[in-house]
Amino acid sequence: MFKIKKINPEAKSEINTGFGVNSSDYGGRFLHKNGKPNIQIKGISTIERISWYHILLDMPRWKFLLTIVLFYLCVNLLFASVYYLLGLQEFGGSATSSHFRQFMEAFFFSSQSFTVGGYGRADAGHLLINSLCAFEAFLGLLSLAVVTGLLYGRFSRPKAYLRFSEKAILAPFHEQKAIMLRLAPFKNTTLTDAEAKVTLGLIVEENGNMVNKFYQLPLEYSTVNSLTLSWTIVHPITETSPFYNFTKEDFENAQGEILVYIKAFDDMFSNTVVSRTSYTLKELVIGAKFNPMYHRSEHENKTLLHLDKLNSYKTVELDF
């Protein structure tokens, strides 16, 4: 295994990160690119360790809508099958002959009961079927309340609408070097009092064992008053940086991850929002510089921010 140089003793080490210390017990990266921990819980049943409420809140919009539609169809297909087996002769207005038409009659009757619509196309004439209809209507009311709560939760949940650059870069900076990454808001929200915290997780040798060590990376600016344009977060590699005296070979072969935490106040939600991501050192581009992503408009009356240039950079010479 490649061994990096001794970490700069001036670098500030962190011990309260919440991540494990023994690198042999840790697999893969600490955080996924979307900011979620790379952890899988074992030892308890799936039902106990999974919050379906959080899953439904976090899943993509198309999956959420598809889940609702599939749930609606499955429930109605289940009840339609029961009504069909009980016999449609108990339903008024169900004089169709083909089995398919009879089943569709039962399906639409089920959908009316489930949504408490009751269009009057068919009505139940048996106590057992009426009891089943009442139960389905009750289930429909509960389902409507759950779906309404989930829709409200998805729309009202505070979220930091930020996009991060796919790569971090190692760039020249004030006759030195610096690690840079870039982010930008992508919704019509106003974020103020934005604060960034960047932590380095590095696998190093300590007393003959490979361990995870964490270091807080000092930033050129850790806060901005208003986050309306892109923000390039810069960690200058000075005497207090754990990357101080790193060679190009060290950067290319070291096993580590840069953890990024962003916290800001959203005026529309009137609440604090948080976003996270990470970059492994394999995702660090050595010798690069971000291209500008905003400029003055043609009529010079506004500033244009090009989100499609968030990942745009050019290679530059870098001295070690």
Tens digits of residue pLDDT in 40-99: 767 677 777 777 887 888 888 899 999 999 999 999 999 889 888 877 666 665 555 677
pLDDT for 166-212, tens place per residue?
Answer: 999 999 998 899 999 999 999 877 899 999 999 998 887 777 777 78
More confident residue, 93 or 135: 135
> Do residues 186 and 290 share a domain?
yes
pTM of the entire structure? 0.75
Q: Is the same domain home to 35 and 58?
A: no
Residues 190 and 287 in one domain: yes
Q: Is residue 6 part of a domain?
A: no
The DSSP bridge pattern shows strands 256-266 and 191-206 to be: antiparallel
Distance CA 45, CA 47 (A): 5
Q: What is the mean pLDDT of the chain?
A: 83
Nearest to 194 by CA among 138, 132, 125, 275: 275
Domain with 114 in it: what CATH number? Answer: 1.10.287.70
Between 133 and 42, whose confidence is greater? 133
Residue 197 within any structural domain of the chain: yes
Q: Which two structure tokens, joined as six digits, stand for 7?
A: 């970490």
210 and 247 assigned to the same domain: yes
Give the residue-averaged pLDDT of 267-294: 92
**Model confidence at 18, in pLDDT bands (50, 70, 90)?**
low
Most confident of 102-116, 125-139, 146-160, 302-316: 302-316
* Closest C-alpha among 171, 167, 177, 170 to residue 236: 177
Is residue 233 domain-shared with residue 291, that is, in the same domain? yes
Query: Are 75 and 143 contacting, i.e. CB atoms less than 8 angstroms apart?
Result: yes
Asked if residue 191 and residue 287 are part of one domain, the reply reads: yes
**How many alpha carbons fall within 13 Å on the CB side of residue 155?**
6
3-state secondary structure of 104: helix
Identify the pLDDT of residue 261. Answer: 96
pLDDT reported for residue 279: 96
Domain of residue 142: give its range.
Answer: 52-156
- Within this chain, do residues 100 and 226 fall inside the same structural domain, yes or no? no
Question: What CATH code is carried by the domain that includes residue 263?
Answer: 2.60.40.1400
7 in a structural domain: no
Of the residues 121, 156, 191, which one is the last residue of a structural domain? 156
Question: In the prediction, which pLDDT does 123 show?
Answer: 60
How far is residue 128's CA from residue 211's CA, in Å, rounded to a whole number?
A: 67
Alpha-carbon distance values, 117 to 110, 131, 133, 276 (Å) = 10, 17, 12, 45
Count: domains in the chain: 2
Spatial contact of 162 and 224, defined as CB atoms under 8 Å apart: no
Average pLDDT on 209-237 reads 91
Residue 94 placed within a domain:
yes
Contact 233, 218 (CB under 8 A): no
Residue that is last in its domain, among 126, 156, 186: 156
Q: What is the model's pLDDT at position 281? A: 93
Query: Two tokens at 26?
Result: 């840790």
Residues 300 and 244 in one domain: yes
**Single residue among 156, 187, 207 that ends a domain in this structure:** 156
How much is the pLDDT for 23? Answer: 55
Q: Are residues 138 and 216 in the same domain?
A: no
Do 140 and 242 sit in the same domain of this protein? no
Asked whether residue 168 falls in the same domain as residue 213, the answer is: yes
In a domain, 125, yes or no: yes
Between residues 49 and 288, the one the model is more confident about: 288
Q: Are residues 169 and 188 in the same domain?
A: yes
Query: For residue 8, is it within any domain?
Result: no
63 falls within a domain: yes
- Would you say residue 3 lies in a domain? no
